[in-house]
Amino acid sequence: MKNYLGLIIAVEEYNDSKKISKVKFANNDAKKFRDSLISLGCKKSNLELLDGTKTTKTTIENKIRNLSRTAKSYDTMILYYAGHGFFVEGVNKISCVDTELDSLETSTISITSIISQLEKSESTRVIVFLDCCHSGIKFSEIERSPISYFSTDDLKYNYRDAEHLIVFASCKSDEKSQADMEYKHGVWSYFLIQALQGNAKDIYTENLLFSDQLQKYLKHHTSKRVKFITPEKKNQTPVKFGKETDEKFIVADLTKVFESRKIEAKAKGFKFKEAVFSYSEEDYVRKLPGFKVGNKTPKIIDDYHESWIQKIAKELIREELDDVTELLRRILKLKLKDFQETIIENGYGQLSTVYFDYVVGVTQSETSADEYVLKRSIENFKNSDTIGSEEFNNAFEKDFDTLTLKMDKDIDIEDLINHIEDIGNPDIIVVDYSTSDLSKCTVEISGFEGSIHFEVDEIQIMVNKNTSPKNLVASFQNVYKELGSRGYLKLT
């Protein structure tokens, strides 16, 4: 899909708004159509979106001309249009933002001229998608009606012998293209987007979407949906015309989408022994509630001073566990019977519930003798469903920055390092390690605001901003998917 060049046009509102009605959801259709192509692997820079005030007659004509000149023989050209269509003086036209009802002949663009321009290109593959009505005079909020006749039948005749050109249109000449108030799309465009996103069952062959299967899908589902949403049980029959080599061709390759879904499913089903959510912060020893007048702040980092810090931190730990107890009673509605045990000793505190354990630990800082480290964590989950529950995440909405996963089986760290280095693109993914200890490494991925630390028996995800347990899990799944998309699926 890298060699797809596209111009995507949405004309939702018109300067002549008193005479030409709004085309409901045209902008949304165009944006989601473009997003679908990008998800298939098309380069965003190759898919130009024209909407709003940019969709003037001059701009559209210039952009089509540039698209045709740019495309090479190996490129596939895509033109998508959502807006009003007209049949003026025997010619099929599309409208522009500056189209005027009183001068349609000069303020619209002939579809014949558009396709003729595209055919001048070196490209031998041209696909046009038209979501515009083909008949009718009156407008309504849910109909994309033109002001005068728009004939797909004439287009089918004019381009019956066109080489390597196919046009998908949203309805027949005597029908109107409907908008769907529930889906917030044109009905036909909605199903087109669903097909491109891989959400249409049983129409793909080896991950490929062929033109004949796409048309069957659009025709069946558009017609069915329009009858369902219109009180009058209106007809809308999508049409396809042009000429296809071997009676069909590949509209899209969805391999990337389906592979991504497989990776995502694996990430959601990722197996591990234990999950621990944690966060650490440092502060001055003198701020501990047990620090008394006359006490001296430590000058040395050693076991003696750490033991003393843990002793005077006892009240801090107690207050922490009491606050969490109140939080769990208020948000998770826990009762006395749901609390199993509370332990406070030697700089350590644990609040055990029927769902998980909340643990607090205090140690001396490893870098500053006069500071302590307070680590909070939730671990020993009795039921993994707790992690995704709304109540649990509301209780700990912005409490943690680290997720540690204890693994069921060992990770081959050397294999992971070799794989990342073989990718050879530090702008996307980079790995840091020491050759003296290949039992661990740290990975950074472009776009991920944090780091991933791998050890033989655990994975640690660290983000740059405190968040909820659910978001930390989502961060891990994104990391897993990114590694999977780079060919590494050996974590399970």
Structural domain count of the chain? 3
Q: Give dist(CA 386, CA 367) in Å, integer.
A: 36
Tell me, what's the pLDDT at 4?
Answer: 95
Tell me, what's the pLDDT at 119?
Answer: 87
Q: What is the dihedral of CA 307, 313, 318, 320, to 10 degrees?
A: -120
Are both 45 and 77 inside the same structural domain?
yes
Tell me, what's the pLDDT at 242?
Answer: 81
| Beta-ladder partners of 245 | none
- According to DSSP, residue 9 is labeled E
Name the strand (E) or helix (H) holding 183.
none
The closest alpha carbon to 393, from 466, 479, 316, 314, belongs to: 466
Q: Does residue 102 form part of some domain?
A: yes
Are both 115 and 63 inside the same structural domain?
yes
Range of the domain at 302: 273-397
- The label of the residue with tokens 């204890």 reads 406
Q: Give dist(CA 432, CA 424) in Å, integer.
A: 13
Are both 38 and 92 inside the same structural domain?
yes
Q: Give dist(CA 71, CA 233) in Å, integer.
A: 43
Are both 60 and 90 inside the same structural domain?
yes
Q: Residue 318: what are its φ and ψ, rounded to 5°? A: -60, -45
Are both 60 and 208 inside the same structural domain?
yes
Are both 293 and 240 inside the same structural domain?
no
Q: 130 near 168, Cβ under 8 Å?
A: yes
List of residues 6+ apart from 195 with CB closer than 8 A: 203, 209, 214, 217, 218
Are both 216 and 322 inside the same structural domain?
no
Burial 345-357 (b: 16+ CB within 10 A, else e): eebbbbbbbebbb
Name the strand (E) or helix (H) holding 442.
strand 437-445
Are both 366 and 415 inside the same structural domain?
no
List of residues 6+ apart from 151 with CB closer than 8 A: 87, 92, 134, 173
Tell me, what's the pLDDT at 141?
Answer: 47
Are both 165 and 288 inside the same structural domain?
no
Q: Does residue 34 form part of some domain?
A: yes
Q: Give dist(CA 322, CA 42) in Å, integer.
A: 54
Are both 240 and 365 inside the same structural domain?
no
pTM as predicted: 0.62
Q: Residue 209: what are its φ and ψ, rounded to 5°? A: -105, 110
Tell me, what's the pLDDT at 490?
Answer: 56
End residue of a domain, out of 223, 253, 283: 253
Q: Does residue 282 form part of some domain?
A: yes
Q: Does residue 388 form part of some domain?
A: yes
Q: Does residue 403 form part of some domain?
A: no
End residue of a domain, out of 397, 423, 438: 397
Q: Does residue 467 form part of some domain?
A: yes
Are both 376 and 417 inside the same structural domain?
no
Q: Does residue 402 form part of some domain?
A: no
Q: Give dist(CA 426, CA 20) in Å, integer.
A: 52
Edge-to-edge strand order for the sheet containing 204-205? Answer: 204-205, 208-210, 250-253
Q: Does residue 289 form part of some domain?
A: yes
Tell me, what's the pLDDT at 53?
Answer: 95
Tell me, what's the pLDDT at 408?
Answer: 79
Are both 463 and 316 inside the same structural domain?
no
- CATH number where 232 lies: 3.40.50.1460
Q: What is the pLDDT along the chain (492 residues), one digit of tens a residue?
A: 789 999 999 999 999 999 998 999 999 999 999 999 999 999 999 999 999 999 999 999 999 999 999 999 999 999 999 999 888 877 888 999 999 999 999 999 988 899 889 989 999 889 999 998 643 223 344 555 544 455 666 666 665 554 568 899 998 877 888 999 999 999 999 999 999 999 998 899 988 999 999 999 999 999 999 999 999 999 999 999 887 777 788 899 998 888 778 766 665 555 567 889 999 999 999 999 999 999 999 999 999 999 999 999 999 999 999 999 999 999 999 999 999 889 999 999 999 999 999 999 999 999 999 999 999 999 999 888 899 899 999 999 999 999 999 887 888 999 999 989 988 888 889 999 999 999 999 999 988 899 999 999 999 999 999 999 999 988 888 888 778 776 665 554
Tell me, what's the pLDDT at 426?
Answer: 87
End residue of a domain, out of 367, 397, 427: 397
Name the strand (E) or helix (H) holding 448.
none
Which pair of tokens denotes residue 192? 């087109």
